[in-house]
């Protein structure tokens, strides 16, 4: 529940959901849900059996992504940074599913351990966890 605010206080922003541009909803669903372990939350397609253009939402734990093949919804090559508690465990999970790893796991100079994968359209999905002892 959100506390009431006076007229002079600003509204609270409750979160952010990256919208990544995709070209093929079926391939994107297979990648995010079949390989990365996300769950399909919704899929708003124009008409079945043709799924594109499509706007869909996927989630895993507290991470939410929206994927769109509609013209004007982002550009190919977007980036989403997802915070996690164990980059190395994700790496092992993804390796077991034969997910191609683009980068990592690697310790970054900014105090994060990161792992990058690319979806079928070249969007970079980055998983990060703070390094122990990093400020």
Q: Identify the CATH number of the domain in which residue 88 sits.
A: 3.10.180.10
Residue 54 in contact with residue 46, Cβ under 8 Å?
yes
Q: What number is the average pLDDT over the span 62-74?
A: 95
- The answer to whether residues 36 and 125 touch, using CB atoms and an 8 Å cutoff, is yes
Look at residue 9 and tell me if it is in a domain.
no
69 versus 132: the higher-pLDDT residue is: 69
Q: What is the average per-residue pLDDT within 111-130?
A: 98
- 10 in a domain, yes or no? no
Tell me, yes or no, whether 8 lies in a domain. no
The 3-state secondary structure of 95-125, one letter per residue: HHCCCCEEEEEEECCCCEEEEEEECCCCCEE
Q: Would you place residue 7 in the very low, low, confident or very high pLDDT band (cuts 50, 70, 90)?
A: low
Assign 89 to helix, strand or coil: helix
C-alpha count within 13 angstroms, C-beta hemisphere, residue 62: 8
Percent of the chain with pLDDT over 70: 91
Residue 130, both tokens = 């703070």
Residue 68 falls within a domain, yes or no? yes
Separation of alpha carbons 63 and 122, rounded Å:
19
Question: In this predicted structure, what is the pLDDT of residue 6?
Answer: 62
> What pTM, to 2 d.p., does this model score?
0.88
Q: pLDDT tens digit string along 30-60? A: 999 999 999 999 999 877 766 899 999 999 9
Higher per-residue pLDDT: 20 or 48: 20
């Amino acid at each position: 529940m959100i506390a009431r605010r006076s007229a002079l206080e600003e509204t609270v922003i409750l979160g952010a959901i990256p919208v990544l541009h995709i070209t093929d909803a079926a391939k994107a669903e297979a990648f995010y849900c079949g390989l990365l372990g996300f769950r399909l939350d919704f899929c708003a397609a124009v008409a079945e059996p043709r799924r594109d253009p499509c706007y869909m939402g996927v989630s895993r734990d507290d991470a939410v992504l929206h994927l769109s093949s509609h013209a004007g919804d982002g550009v190919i090559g977007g980036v989403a940074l997802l915070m996690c508690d164990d980059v190395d465990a994700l790496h092992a999970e993804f390796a077991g599913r034969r997910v191609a790893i683009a980068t990592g796991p690697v310790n970054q100079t900014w105090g994060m351990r990161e792992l990058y994968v690319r979806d079928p359209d070249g969007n970079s999905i980055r998983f990060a966890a703070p390094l122990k002892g990093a400020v």
